[in-house]
Amino acid sequence: MCKNIFDYDDGDFIHSISDNMAIDSDGDFMMRMGDNMAMDMDTGDIHFNSSWSDDDDED
C-alpha cells in the first residue's frame, strides 16, 4: 500500500507506509492528522498535503 502524496509546504512527496504513517523525500517520518494534513515527527510541524485518503474502505 504505497501511495504518493504531495506536500504543499515544502514541495516533497510523501510515500505512505501504513494507514497513518509515511516517509517524505527527505527521509522524515510523517503522521497523518487528517485527509489533507500530516505532522512531521522530527519537528512537530504541520504540513498540508494532497489527499491522503483512508484506505480501510477501498478495495
Q: What is the pLDDT of residues 17-33, one digit of tens each?
A: 888 999 998 899 999 99
H/E stretch holding 22 reads: strand 21-24
Banded model confidence at residue 37, pLDDT cuts 50, 70, 90? very high
pLDDT at residue number 51: 83
Give the Cβ contact number of residue 2 at 10 Å: 7
Gap between the Cα atoms of 57 and 53, Å rounded: 10
Confidence of residue 57 (pLDDT cuts 50, 70, 90): very low
- Rounded to two decimals, what is the model's pTM? 0.77
Q: 31 vs 6, 35, 58, 59, CA distance in Å?
A: 14, 11, 20, 23
Q: Supply the mean pLDDT for the chain.
A: 85
